[in-house]
Homo-oligomer: A and B are copies of this chain.
Amino acid sequence: MINFQTSPNEYKHWKLDIAGQVATLTMDVQEDETLAEGYKLKLNSYDLGVDIELNDAIQRLRFEHPEVAVVVITSLKPRIFCAGANIYMLGSSSHAFKVNFCKFTNETRCAIEDDSKHSGRRYLAALNGTASGGGYELAIACDEIYLVDDGNSAVSLPEVPLLGVLPGTGGLTRLVDKRKVRRDRADVFSTLAEGLKGKRAKEWGLIDDHFTTSKFQDRLDARVAELVAGGKGSAATGIKLNPLHDYKYVKLKLNREQRYADLTVLGPEGPQPTTPEEIQKLGDAYWPLQAYRELDDALLNLRVNEPEIGLVCLRTKGSIESVLQIDETLTANRDQWLIREIILHMARVLRRLDLTAKSFFAIVEPGSCFAGNLLELLLASDRSYMLMDSDATIAVSEMNAGALPMSNGLTRLQSRFLAEPEKLDDVFGEKKTFDTEEAEELGLITFAPDDLDWEDEIRVAIEERTSLSPDALTGMEASLRFAGPETMDTKIYGRLTAWQNWIFQRPNAVGPEGALTNYGKPTQAHFDFKRT
């Protein structure tokens, strides 16, 4: 059972130091502190446990340290920044684990970019040694990359030449789409096991600059000072993210025999704060933060610890009015730093749902509160079932109009109404709450069975869904969920991930004679050279 919760005083592999507006995240992987048996995390190589800490640190910076303007990511190991994902860990992991591992590390890299883009924090990769594979992919997720010139240190993506797999954390896409490295140079770089050092790496756009060992720290400090001086600063005080013990707002019921889960999100209860001051005081107990943190944890748990659960039935319970009041407060205060972070967090959790390789059905009944931000759960679902009952209602709020975008940059309503964008006007008209008939007429739900058919229809739908090939469903959902425009993120999760998953099964990588299997062994890889 893998636990995704941690906190700085539990970190084994990272140190998080805050000095004024500058945070330094230092990687110092303890080689024996692995998440599983059978490998050692040498040379700052990582496994999922290391990345769970990184994810936590990024998250905490946003909530606990709003004063931080610049984050420096560096290493405590001499001559090595990070050697990437541990190869023996990959070689000994199941296909499903490798896929989930890469998805999570991708989400953490995207969270860094989300922070940079929306919260303005600058991330500097201070490569005080070689950054290879996932090490360079971590660097390329940062805003700026500086490499030490010590005659030895290089950046590299040695996956293709050494392991017969792809860089699994967005590296190829970021190379040509983010840093816009010329495709022929990207081709050379990605097949060059030893990578490139300072001068050429800079010339090709792989790094932003390189400094000799003696000047490295000074030049870096100068750049950090520049960024701090140019930033807008923040006098805000953070809130504490406490451990999630028993979930308060998320109820997860696992029907393992039938391979589906019921996930119910409970709406807020009782009076809710309406000013930033009150919210700051309430801290992580504020419903939108706590409920979505729990939802995030539940999704990660389902992905990694419950692989046989193929379907999640999403339900909500509570007062629509209360959810809409929350949304009103969030919308009215969205420029305040904490509210902004809460909304951005909600958006990331919903994107984690979009990217989860499970089917989602939303089930709407009287007592449900699929309203505003929680309506996104319904819109994110592969289908929705709403009981034909005048007491069953759903509602939209301003939060459905842009605050919680999908990876493709569209809102879930825009994605839904690609064919009829004018429907958005109907949905965002005067009327905000819709009963089943209205919801069906507007095209907001998939099915509206009546009371007589309700239980049978849901039961049969669950049985049918969970009887289908889980692989075909994953590919189908990945194709149907993201119509419309593409972004770097959708390229990473769609195209790159799909290719990597394909390669992760190929005998040339993971067979007895595959490159990943034979890495570091006296035996050599032997390829079937048929091109596919």
Q: Which residues does A use to contact B, with CB under 8 Å?
A: 95-96, 99-100, 159-161, 163-166, 172-173, 175-177, 179-188, 190-191, 205, 259, 307-310, 357-358, 381-384, 415-419, 443, 445-446, 464-466, 468-481, 483-486, 491, 494-496, 498-503, 505-506, 508-509, 515, 525, 527-532
Contact = CB atoms under 8 A, between A and B. Distances in A.
Contact of A164 (B418, B471, B500): B471
A52 to B, nearest CB: 20
A322 to B, nearest CB: 27
A499 B470 contact: no
A196 B478 CA distance: 23
Given A469-B515, A505-B502, A532-B99, A415 B475 contact: no
A358 to B, nearest CB: 6
Nearest to A494: B495
Given A179-B419, A184-B416, 14 more contacts: A160-B476, A172-B476, A180-B419, A183-B415, A184-B382, A184-B446, A191-B476, A469-B515, A469-B525, A470-B528, A470-B532, A472-B509, A494-B495, A505-B505
29 contacts: A96-B531, A164-B471, A164-B472, A165-B472, A166-B472, A180-B483, A182-B416, A183-B415, A183-B481, A184-B416, A190-B476, A191-B464, A191-B465, A191-B476, A308-B530, A469-B503, A469-B508, A469-B515, A470-B529, A470-B532, A471-B532, A472-B503, A474-B532, A486-B486, A495-B495, A495-B498, A498-B498, A502-B502, A505-B505
Contact of A357 (B188, B259, B532): B532
A99 B483 CA distance: 23
A483 B176 CA distance: 6
Given A475-B166, A484-B177, A470 B184 contact: no
Contact of A472 (B159, B310, B477, B529): B159
Q: How many copies does the complex hold?
A: 2
A100, A417, A505: residue with the most chain B Cβ atoms closer than 10 Å: A505
A188 B446 contact: yes
B164 A531 contact: no
Contacts of A505: 502, 505-506
A509 B502 CA distance: 14
Given A476-B166, A498-B498, A530 B470 contact: yes
A345 to B, nearest CB: 25
Pairs of residues from A and B, 10 with the lowest C-beta to C-beta distance, nearest first: A164-B469, A498-B498, A180-B419, A475-B499, A486-B486, A176-B483, A172-B479, A307-B530, A494-B495, A184-B446
Contact of A418 (B159, B180, B187, B503): B180
Contact of A191 (B259, B418, B419, B468): B468
A511 to B, nearest CB: 11
Contacts of A100: 532
B470 A531 contact: yes
Nearest to A530: B307
A278 to B, nearest CB: 38
A172 B423 CA distance: 23
Given A190-B480, A486-B485, A475 B446 contact: no
Contacts of A419: 179-182, 205
A183 B464 CA distance: 18
B479 A496 contact: yes
A413 B309 CA distance: 47
Given A472-B166, A531-B474, A183 B502 contact: no
Contacts of A159: 472
B499 A479 contact: yes
Given A183-B415, A205-B419, A503 B527 contact: no
A95 B532 contact: yes
Contacts of A188: 383, 446
B471 A503 contact: yes
Nearest to A412: B183
Given A472-B508, A527-B469, A491 B486 contact: yes
Nearest to A98: B532
Contact of A503 (B166, B443, B475, B499): B475
Contacts of A166: 472, 475-476, 479
A202 to B, nearest CB: 13
A507 to B, nearest CB: 9
A480 B308 contact: no
Nearest to A500: B475
A357, A477, A480, A496: residue with the most chain B Cβ atoms closer than 10 Å: A480
A446 B166 CA distance: 22
A495 B31 CA distance: 36
Contacts of A476: 160, 166, 172, 187, 190-191
